[in-house]
Amino acid sequence: MSVPDAIVAQPVTPENFAPYGRVYDLMGDADAAVIWTAGDGWNDGFTRTPLIAGAGHLGITRGGGAPWSCAAMERHPGTEEAIFCAAEPVILAVAPASEASAPHRDDIKAFVIAPGQAVVMHRNVWHDACRGLSGPAPYYWMAVCGLGESPWVPVEGGPRQIQAAQGQRG
């Protein structure tokens, strides 16, 4: 069921995510930013350059499921942050990097990250914790930790409902 004024998450692509960061597709063979190798019964890909600037820490977040009310966001001025899902697609809500004290609800966009994809957010991009596309889902993140507080702040203008597209499932 669609909620009026809700943001519908779109599949992430390098083009639609460009204002917020980079996208890597480690499942397809067409991403020039990925080096591909193969052996007897296996193939793999890895990023041509390090995923983030700096010696990042690996973390995992256990997110709830969509839909949800995006009421608060954080940003990281001292580090990029990479997001990649464990086994189920997740939705990432973002707002443009800014020097403002809070993101505005009208600037929020939402993207579906599928297994095998990774996104790397630019420094200062506002973001919420990811949620599973069709239910609770864990996801991994990589960022340089210990750079001070990353306070969560209320979204200016009030919360914004985030949801998957009709029929969109993991």
User: What is the per-residue pLDDT across 34-84, written as a single tens digit (0 to 9) for each?
Assistant: 898 999 999 888 999 999 998 899 999 999 999 999 999 999 999 999 999
CATH number of the structural domain 7-163:
2.60.120.480
Token code pair at residue 112: 């579906």
Q: What is the pTM of this model?
A: 0.92
Q: Mean per-residue pLDDT for 130-157?
A: 91
Q: 3-state DSSP: the chain helix, strand, coil percent, rounded to 5?
A: 5, 45, 50
Task: Pull the structure tokens for residue 114.
Answer: 């599928």
Cα–Cα distance for residue pair 42/58, rounded to 1 Å: 25
Compute the distance between CA of residue 116 and CA of residue 149 in angstroms, rounded to an integer.
30
